[in-house]
Structure 1
Amino acid sequence: MAPIHIPLDRSTTFDAMLSVSPAVGPVVLLNIISLPPGADKESFLKTWTRTADFLKISPGHISTQLHSAIGDGNFIVNYAVWENNEDLKNALYKPEFRKICEDFPDGTEFRACVLQKEAIPRVCAGL
Structure 2
Amino acid sequence: MLQLRPMDPAFPLERQLGNDVSPVVLVNIFTLAKDDEKAFLEVWKDDADFMKRQPGFISTQLHRAVGESPTYLNYAVWESTAAFRAAFTHPEFVAKLSAYPSSAVAIPHLFQKAAVPGICLA
Same fold (TM over 0.5): yes
**TM-score, structure 2 length as denominator?**
0.94
Task: Name structure 1 gaps, 5 residues minimum.
Answer: none
Quote how far apart the aligned CAs of 1:31 are. 0.2
How many Å separate the matches in 1 of 2:52 and 2:64? 20
Within 5 A, what are the aligned runs for 1:83-98?
Answer: 83-98=79-94
How many Å separate the matches in 2 of 1:111 and 1:121? 30
**TM-score, structure 1 length as denominator?**
0.91
User: Which of 41, 45, 49 does residue 49 from structure 1 map onto?
Assistant: 45
Instruction: Give the number of the structure whose residues are more often helix, by fraction.
Output: 2
AA in 2 matched with 1:66: L
Count of residues in correspondence between the two structures:
122
Quote how far apart the aligned CAs of 1:108 are. 0.8
How many Å separate the matches in 1 of 2:96 and 2:3? 15
AA in 1 matched with 2:4: H
TM-superposition CA deviations, 1:80-104 (whole Å, max 9, x none): 0000001001000011011112110
Quote how far apart the aligned CAs of 1:24 are. 1.1
Identity %: 37
The CA RMSD over aligned residues, in Å, is 1.1
Q: Which aligned segments of 4 or more residues in structure 1 are displaced greater than 6 angstroms?
A: none
